[in-house]
Structure 1
């Protein structure tokens, strides 16, 4: 009887875990689908008119839930507004909103998370936070200029924030040099491979 109960519990646990994994995979596939749909639309796409003619889909790393991390989040309310360097002379104003600390690949890492001073006054994007980063895949399997992740301000009193590298995407400059793109600050350079999210665009 005990064996039967044990087997039943194992079966239920495996079914639950499989269901959870499937739901997460579906979430990331939806993100990828929406990104591909945007890039295939000439009215929204950063791709050149020439590239749009042959565009089918972006290239992504395999979905890996290991790259979804719950980070400790420390607010930096007294940080000054600064000019964020871009690939052009444009210097948008940002402020360091907080510091996220997490463990990945057996090591502790920290990333600064920023808030756009322009978008914070927009009703649509007032909760928007910006995470630009570099990692050891840059210039190899991912775009050399780094990648971005969009985040939202955590609920009041929260001391954690979810960072999902499977939702990392390339700046528009990875597809078309006519754009002005933020350059990830040096403090946001990770010395590990982040094999998640969008890969390098084959033509750049």
Structure 2
């Protein structure tokens, strides 16, 4: 705001000092916001990168699911570039009561999976709805996850699809980050029985983020 006091105004000329001060403050605030955004983006990228490095080391270690004979030829995990536009915070449309469905497995059998609800996601390509399941046993008990397929399967990504674990964000919302999408264990060792994503979670477009198919 321009100061209208007598000392600020000369005949036919308005002092620009207050205006310049306001502009400078606005520019400084914009720079701080931009710096915060860049810092936040870098922190996010670093976190995803660290998670990928840890998973790669796990795959190469003595406790790897990869058979020992194949481990020496394992070239490491392959990933798409990180793209934060595939990270979503969405409410979960929970079922009145979780129900159990039978899901086909990679080894030819079926296994019971608990369905807790759905999430609607506005992908860059189009909106779609995915079913959310809950792990009911083992060390991951209580974890919500989404098994899904997309148009990259059989090409850059594993033919049977991928999984993404969800992070809780409040009572009924979750973070769905496809940058963290990973291959089922059977992609590295066919002896493991892995749930095959249901048709309800088949995306008709590419999801070009997350883990690619393994290379040996």
Q: CA RMSD in A?
A: 1.8
- Which secondary structure does the structure 1 equivalent of 2:48 belong to? helix
In 1, are the aligned partners of 2:90 and 2:119 still within 8 Å (CA)?
yes
Question: In the alignment, what sits opposite 2:180?
Answer: 167
**Aligned residue among 132, 144, 151 for 1:129:** 144
Question: In the alignment, what sits opposite 1:33?
Answer: 53
Deviation at 1:79, TM superposition (A): 4.7
Deviation at 1:72, TM superposition (A): 2.7
Question: In the alignment, what sits opposite 1:191?
Answer: 204
Deviation at 1:155, TM superposition (A): 4.3
Between the two proteins, the alignment pairs up a number of residues equal to 196
> In the aligned structure 1, how far is the partner of 2:81 from the partner of 2:168?
27
Deviation at 1:60, TM superposition (A): 0.6
In 1, are the aligned partners of 2:168 and 2:175 still within 8 Å (CA)?
no
Distance 1:192 1:71, change over 3 A: farther
TM-score by length of 2: 0.83
> In the aligned structure 2, how far is the partner of 1:174 from the partner of 1:137?
15
- Which secondary structure does the structure 2 equivalent of 1:166 belong to? helix
In 1, are the aligned partners of 2:89 and 2:169 still within 8 Å (CA)?
no
Distance 1:154 1:92, change over 3 A: farther
> In the aligned structure 1, how far is the partner of 2:122 from the partner of 2:131?
15
Deviation at 1:13, TM superposition (A): 1.2
In 1, are the aligned partners of 2:152 and 2:206 still within 8 Å (CA)?
yes
- Which secondary structure does the structure 1 equivalent of 2:215 belong to? coil
- Bigger Rg over Cα: 2
| Structure 2, gaps ≥5 residues long | 1-19
* Per-residue CA distance 1:1-53 (angstroms, 9 max, x = gap): 2332232122111110111001100110121012112101121x122223311
- 1:179 aligned onto 2:198: no
TM-score by length of 1: 0.88
In 1, are the aligned partners of 2:163 and 2:181 still within 8 Å (CA)?
yes
